[in-house]
Structure 1
Amino acid sequence: MLRKQRNRASFATKTRKKHTRRVSEKRRIQSRRKKGTKTYVFSLPPNHSFHANNRREAHEMIGEVTEQDREVLPQPVLSVIIPAMNEERTIAAVVREATRICRDAEVLVIVNGSTDGTANEAERAGARVLHYPEALGHDAGRRVGAASARGQILLFTDADILIPAEHLAPFVQAVLNGVDVALNNYNGPVTRSPVHPVVEAKHMLNSLLSRSDLGGASMTAIPHALSRQALEIIGISSLEIPPLAHAKAIFGGLRVQAVHHVPVGKWNAVRSTKRGGADLLSQIVLNDHLEAIRWMTDTRGPRGAYPDLQRVRSLAQ
């Protein structure tokens, strides 16, 4: 009887130790992920154009390439483009998350008009820095970064919002699966009263483009990703006006989808502004939407390709 009790006690002790080891190991794994040591490995569909055009790039992405082969690889699979102006506090962490997305990736930080150590912090974190002493203006950094990017996929994010790689990887995977423009499935605070004009503008533009299914998803919001084909159709210069690039992508017959939700409204750092002052950034974004609508009417007619139905306007003249 005593021997059975000792055996049961010994078994219980061993079981508890095994359980403790499993819990400890699980916590260590989670801790490593939080610290950003996990790198994503993507697999390509066998009939994907990237796989057909450049088998070495596909093998690099899934970790099957040798060091000797790596030296002759012509370009990375992914380019992460990050405009930055005086973001010394956050840029290193943003770059580290970007490097976790894909083994075969380049991270471009377009430092413009900065007076702090943004460029040095970005370089130390592993980014390739494009440095401009003067401020390039809103969204111009995306255009500059895209012009220098060598990747088959271009992923755009900002330097002041730390987005974990777990929330960036789905945009890359969507493009690998055939999406040309992978958007953040973020509609903005639509339940507020009144709704912010920028949120209304995004929904309105998608409605005019016959893509109400996109809601408020837009190339104005980050993160979003483009295929190399999408970049060629949209045109690099259009990236400086995101709503215009958005309209060109849809009118160009590209596959545009909202693929993953990232709550950038909650994560974005609150900027201090003078009370009662004009919201200049919102005005720029609204003007960008007007630019997209003007392009639509210039290229598709005064009604943007919508029919006039029963109206006979000539009789009213």
Structure 2
Amino acid sequence: MRKTFGQQRQPQRKRKSSRKTRFSAFRNCEHPVVSVIIPAMNEQRMIGNVIREARKVHEACEVIVVANGCTDNTAGIANVMGAKVLRYDEPLGHDAGRSVGADASSGQVLLFIDADMRIGCSDLRPFVHAVLQGIDVALNRYRGPVRRHQVHPVILAKHTLNTMLGRPDLLGSSLTAVPHAISRKALEVIGSENLSVPPLAQAIAVHSGLKVAAVHEVSVGRLNRRRRKSSGQDLLQQVVLDDHLQALNWYFSHTDARGGHTDLGRVRDRVGR
């Protein structure tokens, strides 16, 4: 039967898949090799992109999002994207999400990133590969601008800690900065509770003889969002400095007053005689 003039077949419109439908294909691996741990606080605009890149680091991967006192839809987006979401109504404190996420992980490699910066999978994989090849603690390679009249206190603290640990080759590389990855063995030696104080975790790792190396450089300084200061003070800076002092105190308590370094040729018991 011929169609009446003007009754053209209308092309069928493609049904738009909802965001939920598109994201539902993402699911954590049942037996992951890599656990990607992402502490997050009110990062609904960024968390989707961060999770997408995280999933690409290994074919057997789980993503764990620690929703640390979120008041937005960060947890909801992460849940729709198939991540394991650990929700806490009240903020846990700086870096505490790392400890919580590590406790919930089951991978042999634990990769730590932040929810406020999108780092491509090509810059994340080197940390995973380093651990799979035998490194216990794979750090972000960093020197920091040290050839200045006045060096930033945090940079100075990182160099000082590594020097005291007998690892000046690490320069400014630190567990304070992401991305970094650790082995399951390192987690057991360091203790998940100590991951919330990154310099302390680093001191324990080095002192315990774990294989610690700076494996790849990711310039997170340009990705990291500037935080507003409270009454002109950088509160986060003070937290990081206090963490380094805690790490040094732990190291001295497990070595000696000079951190295992020699006193060169000094004969102190004769001074003043």
TM-score tier by shorter-chain length is 0.7 to 0.9
1:223 aligned residue = 179
Deviation at 1:271, TM superposition (A): 2.5
Aligned to 2:196: 240
Once residues 192 and 87 of structure 1 are traced to their aligned partners in structure 2, the CA distance between those partners, rounded to angstroms, is 35
Quote how far apart the aligned CAs of 1:193 are.
5.0
Choose which of 198, 212, 218 in structure 2 pairs with 1:262.
218
1:173: which partner in 2?
129
Q: Which amino acid aligns with 1:168?
A: L
1:22-41, aligned counterparts within 5 Å?
none
Cα displacement string for residues 40-82 of structure 1 (whole angstroms, at most 9, x for unaligned residues): xxxxxxxxxxxxxxxxxxxxxxxxxxxxxx9xx6x31000001
Match of 1:284 in 2: 239
AA partner of residue 43 (structure 2)? E
Contact 1:95–1:126, Cα closer than 8 Å, also in 2: no
Aligned to 1:23: none
Tell me which amino acid in the other structure corresponds to 2:243.
Answer: D
Q: Confirm or deny that 1:80 pairs with 2:74.
A: no
- Deviation at 1:147? 0.6
Instruction: Give ranges in structure 1 of 5+ residues lacking alignment.
Output: 1-69
Q: Deviations over 1:285-311 (max 9, x none)?
A: 000000011011111011111122333
**2:58 aligned with 1:102, yes or no?**
yes
Moved over 6 A (4+): none
- How far off is 1:191 after superposition? 4.8
Matched residue type, 2:173: A
* Candidates 191, 195, 198, aligned match of 2:154: 198
> Structure 1 residues 126-135 or 307-316, which shifts more?
307-316
Counterpart of 1:115, as a letter, is T
Retained in 1: the 8 A contact 2:229–2:235? no
Tell whether the 8 Å contact from 1:90 to 1:161 is kept in structure 2 after alignment: yes
The residue that corresponds to 2:22 in the other structure is none
Report the residue type matching 2:183 in the other structure: S
Give the deviation of 1:122 after TM superposition: 1.1
Q: Does 1:209 align with 2:168?
A: no
Q: CA RMSD in A?
A: 1.6
Q: What displacement does 1:241 show? A: 0.6
Unaligned runs of 5+ in 2: 1-28
Alignment partner for residue 113 of structure 1, among 53, 69, 74? 69
Counterpart in the other structure of 2:265: 310
From 251, 268, 289, the equivalent of 2:207 is: 251
Work out the CA distance in 1 between the residues paired with 2:141 and 2:73.
33
TM-score (norm 1): 0.74
What residue in structure 2 maps to residue 150 of structure 1? 106
Distance (Å, rounded) in 1 between the aligned partners of 2:259 and 2:97: 30
Amino acid at match of 2:253: D
Equivalent in the alignment of 2:48 = 92
- Percent identity among equivalent residues? 55
CA separation of 1:189 and 1:89: change in aligned 2, threshold 3 A: farther
Contact 1:219 1:242 in 2 (8 A): yes
| TM-score, structure 2 normalization | 0.85
* Preserved contact between residue 188 and residue 265 of structure 1 (Cα < 8 Å): no
**Are the counterparts in 2 of residues 92 and 124 from structure 1 also a CA contact under 8 Å?**
no
Q: Which has the higher helix share?
A: 1
Q: CA deviation at 1:247?
A: 0.8
Which amino acid in structure 2 is aligned with residue 298 of structure 1? S
Count of aligned pairs: 244
Contact 2:67–2:85 under 8 Å retained in 1: yes
User: Cα–Cα, structure 1 residues 151 and 158, in superposed 2: closer, same or farther, change >3 Å?
Assistant: same
Please tell me whether residue 297 in structure 1 is matched to residue 252 in structure 2: yes
